[in-house]
């Protein structure tokens, strides 16, 4: 119990400096973004650059700049889900291939001549499932919320223990 208390105290001491944002060292770029202003206005943009005091991006080809203090939420586009969905599709195809091979009697056969068609059936369905899953996943984009700290704003961590 003593080590847990020491670890929590160390975490509390280090969390303050680590949680503070250094506006001079912060700059990030985003290909696609959606921001919601504090007034509730939704703006979609491209080629966004998050600077120390503002977000600069293009809307319909025209440059736009919004101060960080006016942004309520910033959503940025991540990667597509093509790889994940291809793996899911391959897994479904493999299960279907296994089931089809078992139902047709190819899987339970002791003949070595059934090995080729069995592997071809399972591999073909797994490959087809991966292709279909990859195509579907390529159209799915993962969005995430980008935290924004306004210059001068303090961020902190509050820890509480109940014993």
Q: What is the pTM of this model?
A: 0.53
CB-CB contact of 67 with 53 (8 Å): yes
Mean pLDDT, 10 residues at a time, the chain of 163 residues: 52 48 58 88 88 85 86 86 92 91 75 77 91 92 80 63 65
Q: Which residues contact 120 (CB under 8 A, 6 or more apart)?
A: none
- For the chain, what are the domain ranges? 22-79+141-145, 82-138
pLDDT digits (tens, 9 = 90+) for 36-72: 888 888 988 888 888 888 888 888 888 888 888 888 8
Rounded CA-CA distance 105/114 in Å is 9
Helix axes 82-103 and 115-138, enclosed angle (nearest 10): 150
Fold of 22-79+141-145: SH3 type barrels. (2.30.30)
Please return the burial class of 138, using the count of CB atoms within 10 Å of its CB with bins 0-12, 13-18 and 19+: middle
């Amino acid at each position: 119990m003593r080590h847990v208390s020491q670890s929590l105290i160390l975490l509390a001491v280090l969390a303050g400096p680590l949680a503070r944002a250094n506006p001079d060292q912060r700059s990030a770029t985003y290909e696609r973004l959606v921001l919601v202003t504090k007034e509730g206005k939704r703006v979609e943009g491209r080629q966004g650059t998050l600077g120390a005091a503002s977000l600069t991006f293009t809307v319909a080809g025209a440059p736009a700049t919004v101060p960080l203090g006016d942004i309520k939420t910033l959503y940025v586009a991540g990667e597509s889900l093509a790889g994940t969905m291809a793996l899911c599709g391959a897994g479904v195809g493999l299960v279907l291939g296994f089931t089809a091979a078992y139902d047709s009697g190819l899987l339970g056969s002791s003949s070595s001549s059934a090995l080729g068609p069995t592997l071809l059936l399972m591999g073909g369905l797994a490959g087809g499932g991966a292709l279909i899953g990859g195509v579907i996943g390529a159209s799915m984009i993962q969005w995430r919320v980008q935290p924004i700290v306004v210059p001068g704003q303090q961020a902190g961590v509050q820890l509480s223990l109940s014993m």
